[in-house]
Structure 1
Amino acid sequence: MARKILGAAATAFATFACAADDVPTVSPVGVKSALESEYIGLLPGESFRMRTGKCSDCTVPKQSLWYFETEPIAVPGTKASVSGFSPGVDRKTDVRNWAPQAGKLDHPSVVWIGAPSILEGAIMLPGAQRVRTSAGAELDIKLVPKIPTNLSYANGDTAAWLSGREVRIRGALERANGKDVFVARTIWPSDFAFQPATLPSKPLQKQSDLAAFVREPIKDARGIETRLLWERNPGQPRDWKQKPVLGFILNGAQGDDDESLGGHFAVATGRIGARGEWSNWAVNNFYNLDSFSEKGIVAATLPMDNYLMDLNSGQQYYRPSVMLVAVLNNTRTAAAFQGGVQRVFNHFYRHDFQYRHASANCAGISVDVFDALGWNIPKRGPTAPVKSLAAYAYVAAKDGSLQSGRKIYDYLNEEQTRLLPAVAFEAMGLDLLQLVGASGAVQRALSPYEQQLGSDVEAIFLVRIPQVPSSRATGSAPVFSFDEFRARVPEDQKDWKIVPVEPRPFPDTLRDPSSVAEEEPSPIPMPIAGIGIGACGLLGTFIVWRRRKKPQALATHGASKQGELVH
């Protein structure tokens, strides 16, 4: 049932994506193949082929294809080099061993492309049911169906927000009632483009300013807000056309899901377009593969416009976001991350490791890739190691579940830059500013990758991306601590707003015997077990001591009674 639900939104596209050249031969002006004259991150679109997960001629791991059975995907072309992985080793070791040989960027096994066609340069007409193409003709627009499990969808507010704007739409061209209809899956406002020449300069005055930017109250906005934090050559023209980038994306808290208050984190790579475009950057998005997202999200590398503006799964339809962008003068540091994270995805799809909300979530997996490359992001330490012992006992007893106790224990003991997206975002941003010399010298010996980052970054700026108006509740800033999370949710977990999801079991037939067996964490953590063993040892010692003392006490007690009897 869940797979049918997930496939519902892709029905309009599946038949178009089954072969490489299935875009209609005669198309309205502005409609092109999703791979034509396009980039997917740092790689040219023409080096990929359009397929679905059912393709029979894809030379990529079958585990990667399984998750996209009905979804349009881009796979490496026949002459393209493909990212590999090292079976039998864990993901961090794999990236660490590969990093010294990192050079030319290989292709990811799978890109979740979403739709076979792109409509560019069109003006959205009132009601969001028609557009005026760049040739001046009108073209009917139909929105892809809402996934049944999705809590909300585009509405009149969305149409008003888009009205009159130039848009870039990913979708599929259909023929209905004798005329063309473009079925829209992703709608991206073209005015989201960066304007480097007029970017306002406002450096951080103190380290807390970065968190303050994230926490600023949400305001209604039609466009993005930018703020330049640092540039290598102030006063010189900012010619950023085709400059490579590293983008650090922090998505906020949802307004209708208490489990989402931590927000979400992803890292993007790509190039700034000639007109400041960034919709085709490659975003590396980690989500739980073992359940069906109610919005149809699948963990994947995907274009930025799909990540933010997909009508069902786009982050901006259910929360606001911020992004920190490092403009680079060399592709090597961005390509190294992209190459490394592609290897991690190969492990992830094979189930060599699992998504874990404490130890291997969207932030933790991304931080681990940088760590393996050599970026030693300063750690903040765990939240409350001592309190975790009492929290484990309390939650395990309250819920009647050792697993529940283990979860709270893991949350309180995990390094905060790996646990919380907002903390990861802040730590990376602040350290990046130090690496370029914008906020004092770094107080550590730098690795080769850190030295490259310090010399390759040309500018650093912030972007605030508004939530798209829709029927969904307005989101907010993500939490920066576990205590803040507890303060923002109802005290009784039964009162939390939670969206239930269906499990997605990974088929045993796709498991590889060469995979490193990831050990499931014990329901009883080692420190708790150690305390238990120690307590048992003390109790045993006490019992032995009591038993040894007992005969002596009895003898003394008997002598006393005998004396009393003599008197």
Structure 2
Amino acid sequence: MARKLVGAAAALIATFACAADGIQHASPTGIKGALEAEYIGLLPGDSFRMRSGKCSDCKVPKQSLWYFEKEPIAVPGARSIASGFYPGVDRMSDVARWAAGSHAERLDHPSVVWIGAPSILAGAVMLPGAQRVRTLGGTELDVRLVPRIPTNLSYANGDTATWLGGREVRIRGSLDITDGKEAFVARTIWPVDFAFQPASMQSKPLQNPADLEAFVREPIKNARGIETRLVWERHPGQLRDWKQKPVLGFILNGAQGDDDESLGGHFAVATGRIGDNGEWSNWAVNNFYNLDSFSEKGIVAATLPMDNYLMDLNSGQQYYRPSYMLVAVLNNARTAAAFQGGVQRVFNHFYRHDFQYRHASANCAGISVDVFDALGWTIPKRGPTAPLKSLAAYGYLAAKDGSLQSGRKIYDYLNEEQTRLLPAVAFDAMGQDLLQIVGAGGKPQRALSAYEQQLRSDVEAIFLVRIPQVPSSRVFGSAPVYSFDEFQARVPADQKDWKIVPVEPRPFPAALRDPSSIAEEDPSPVPLPIAGIVVGVFGLLGALLAWRRKKKAAARKQAARQSAELVH
């Protein structure tokens, strides 16, 4: 069902180019190939090729292609080297081993980039009603939107058209010619005025650790554009020339307003360069989602351009919640390239199912934190939520739902390290520690690793960004939760009353499994501490029963002796 419509949407953008590498050349209307004069993160677009997941000449793992059979993707070009992986090695060990080698100094290409569409319409102004644009050449061109995926509960509407009207936009999509009439079929619409303005960026350092959370919780004032706040710079008062400066971007997406399971928000890490005019739509975002189900919005875990990540009409984060970002502007690309190179290897393991997405122990935040940990950035721990409470919660839910798996789920949530469990806590912990590393709050409180020393040396400035939710038929979201207790306070007491969007499973084909993959076992429905308690309780009961039997036997013997004495 969902797959068919995603395929139909992809069919609308099937005009791959004349050139062998799938690159179109810019027309007077401003339409160009998606890779032409573009970057994907830190890598030039012309070092990739446009393909689909059915590519027969792509030298990348076949498991990666399977998820994008009907989707336009970018794969490494003929002369480009794709990121590899070590078979039979877990993802953390893989990244650590790779980072320790000399080849880590070179940023290889991701096996797959979910590019979404073959063309870009740049420099166009959206006319009132959002059904036509005025192109660079001054002509008008019809704009149509890709279809809404049936499982997607909301879509662009008149409020969206009003929000976009009169703005210069950058659109990913394809040119459709029907009965001699041209129309650009839009999949992603990005407002050009989202660009950063370093020279006029307000400098307002964080005064205490709570300020970062307060920034996220503060209502977004300007629902039309982004808000920025400079919190640290190496050379205050000097000209902020950030043109083509590399960056590490930490993205926190908020809570959805119509899905109680999404109140924890979402987390991703981006790499790229700030454009000459403050552009950032082509940063590479590394987005982890569950591969074993079909997202109701068509999201697939992947490396993808920022405009696709935030502004895709079906899967874009901004169409269903606000977002926040902490950006580290760098004077050297090495720290960003190290993360990008490491996370690309993790994606290779992920697509092969060497490990699974788990909402407690291997989610969007946890996987990203693990990559930095393997590189040498030890993000301070916040500890698990409630280990003692988890024992009672396990028993309660297991009995209430009649399911040991249900008990195991709550047990894992309450015992997982919070910086790996909750996107908002990961965002806060990374931001606070990065400021400590660069010296914003004085001298770092620990000896720094080699990677942390590079961060301390390379970061030129740190700023925050608030990104508004795009008005549409969806209700507005809010800041994500910062604790399990806050989550419980914001959802209905009875889980039957939760607003949840059901999704279809997406089984991974057995034929694609590699025998060299480490078999990741599902956790036992009875956690070891619970099993220990159960064994201990039964052992205690057994000892008590044995003691009582022994006591009764001794009493009987005593009574028998007394009877014998009376007889004599």
Q: What is aligned with 2:229? A: 227
Residue identity opposite 1:392 in structure 2: Y
Give the 3 Å change call, closer, same or farther, for CA 91–19 of structure 1 in structure 2: farther
- 1:147-199 Cα shifts (integer Å, max 9, x gaps): 01100000000000000000000000110231211000000000000000000
- Is residue 453 of structure 1 aligned with residue 455 of structure 2? yes
Are the equivalent residues in 1 in contact too, given 2:247–2:328 (CA < 8 A)?
yes
Say which of 133, 136, 139 aligns to 1:137.
Answer: 139
- Which residue number corresponds to residue 76 of structure 2? 76
Q: Deviations over 1:415-465 (max 9, x none)?
A: 000000000000000000001100122111110000000010000000000
User: What secondary structure is seen at the aligned counterpart in 2 of 1:16?
Assistant: coil
Distance 1:273 1:197, change over 3 A: same
- Give the corresponding residue for 1:98: 98
**Alpha-carbon distance, 1:26 to partner:** 8.2
**For the residues of structure 1 that align with 2:51 and 2:553, how far apart are their CA atoms?**
84
* Cα distance in 1 between the residues matched to 2:369 and 2:397: 29
SS of residue paired to 2:488: helix
CA 1:70 to 1:144, structure 2 compared with 1: closer, same or farther past 3 Å? Answer: same
CA contact (8 A) 1:252 1:262 kept: yes
1:335 aligns with 2:305: no
Distance 1:243 1:23, change over 3 A: closer
- 1:398 alignment partner, one of 379, 397, 400: 400
Q: Cα gap change, 1:504/1:445 in structure 2, threshold over 3 Å: closer, same or farther?
A: same
Aligned AA (2:493):
E
Cross-structure match for 1:497: 499
For 1:109-508, list aligned pairs within 5 A.
Answer: 109-219=111-221, 221-508=223-510
CA spacing shift, 1:124–1:411, aligned 2, 3 Å:
same
Could you tell me how far apart the structure 2 residues matched to 1:358 and 1:479 are?
Answer: 15
Kept in 1, the 8 Å contact 2:254–2:477? The answer is: yes
* Aligned-partner residue type, residue 398 of structure 2: A
Q: Comparing 461-470 with 441-450, which one deviates more in the overlay?
A: 441-450
Residue of structure 2 equivalent to 1:44: 44
Offset from partner CA, 1:99-121 (integer Å, 9 cap, x none):
02211100000000000000000
Quick one: which amino acid aligns to residue 373 of structure 1? L
Change in Cα spacing, 1:24 to 1:302, as seen in structure 2 (3 Å) is closer
User: In structure 2, do the counterparts of structure 1 residues 136 and 19 end up closer, same or farther at CA, with 3 Å as the change threshold?
Assistant: closer
Cα distance in 2, alignment partners of residues 181 and 23 from structure 1: 20
Q: Which residue of 2 aligns with 1:6?
A: 6
Q: Residue 20 of structure 1 contacts residue 50 of structure 1 at CA under 8 Å; is this kept in 2?
A: no
Partner residue, 1:55: 55
Instruction: Please give the root-mean-square deviation of Cα atoms over the aligned residues, in Å.
Output: 1.7
Detail structure 1 runs of 4+ shifted over 6 Å in the superposition.
Answer: 23-26, 559-566
What CA distance in whole angstroms lies between the structure 2 residues aligned with 1:19 and 1:558?
105
DSSP 3-state at the match of 1:180: strand
State the partner residue of 1:64.
64
Give the drift of 1:133: 0.4
Checking the alignment, whether the CA contact within 8 Å between 2:17 and 2:24 is kept in structure 1 is no
Contact 2:15/2:175 (8 A) holds in 1: no
Does structure 1 conserve the Cα–Cα contact (< 8 Å) formed by 2:23 and 2:50?
no
Native 8 Å contact 1:170 1:187 kept in 2: yes
User: 1:10-62: per-residue Cα shift (whole Å, max 9, x none)?
Assistant: 22124537984556678442100000000000000000000000010100000
Percent identity over the alignment? 80
The change in CA–CA distance for 1:174 and 1:543 in structure 2 (over 3 A counts) is same
CA deviations on 1:234-260 (whole Å, 9 max, x unpaired) are: 111000000000000000000000000
Q: Distance in 2 between matches of 1:358 and 1:173?
A: 43
The TM-score normalised by the length of structure 2 is: 0.97
1:54/1:65 contact within 8 Å kept: yes
| CA offsets 1:302-329 (integer angstroms, 9 cap, x no match) | 0000000000000000000000000000
Does structure 2 conserve the Cα–Cα contact (< 8 Å) formed by 1:270 and 1:280?
yes
* Partner SS, residue 13 of structure 1: coil
- Aligned-pair distance for 1:556? 4.1
Give the Cα–Cα distance (whole angstroms) in 1 for the partners of residues 335 and 391 of structure 2.
41
Q: Is 1:86 the equivalent of 2:86?
A: yes
Offset of residue 217 of structure 1: 2.2
SS in 1 for 2:13: helix
Match of 1:10, SS state, is helix
For 2:241 and 2:235, how far apart are their aligned partners in 1?
11
Check the 8 A contact 1:256/1:497 in 2, yes or no.
yes
CA distance in 2, matches of 1:17, 1:289: 30
CA distance in structure 2 between the aligned counterparts of 1:178 and 1:528, rounded to whole angstroms: 70
Q: Distance in 2 between matches of 1:473 and 1:369?
A: 34
Q: Please state whether the residue corresponding to 1:206 is helix, strand or coil.
A: coil
The 3-state SS of whatever aligns with 1:202 is coil
Task: Give, in whole Å, the separation in 1 of the partners of 2:168 and 2:560.
Answer: 102
Q: Scaled by the length of structure 1, what TM-score is found?
A: 0.97
One-letter code of the match for 1:236?
Q
Q: Residue deviations 1:286-306, cap 9 Å, x none?
A: 000000000000000000000
Q: Matches of 2:437 and 2:13 in 1, distance apart? A: 45
Q: Which structure 1 segments of 5+ residues have no match?
A: none
CA contact (8 A) 1:18 1:52 kept: no
Alpha carbons 2:15, 2:118 under 8 Å: kept: no
SS at match of 1:442: coil
Partner of 1:70, secondary structure, is coil
In the TM superposition, residue 535 of structure 1 has moved relative to its aligned partner by 1.1
Secondary structure of the structure 1 residue equivalent to 2:440: coil
Shift of 1:7: 2.1
Inter-partner Cα distance in structure 2 for 1:19 and 1:256: 44
Query: After the TM superposition, which of the residue ranges 556-565 and 501-510 deviates more from structure 2?
Result: 556-565
349-358 or 101-110, larger mean C-alpha shift: 101-110
Paired residue type of 1:13? I
Per-residue CA shift, 1:201-235, capped at 9, x if unaligned?
00001110000001112445110000000000011
Q: What is the aligned residue count?
A: 566
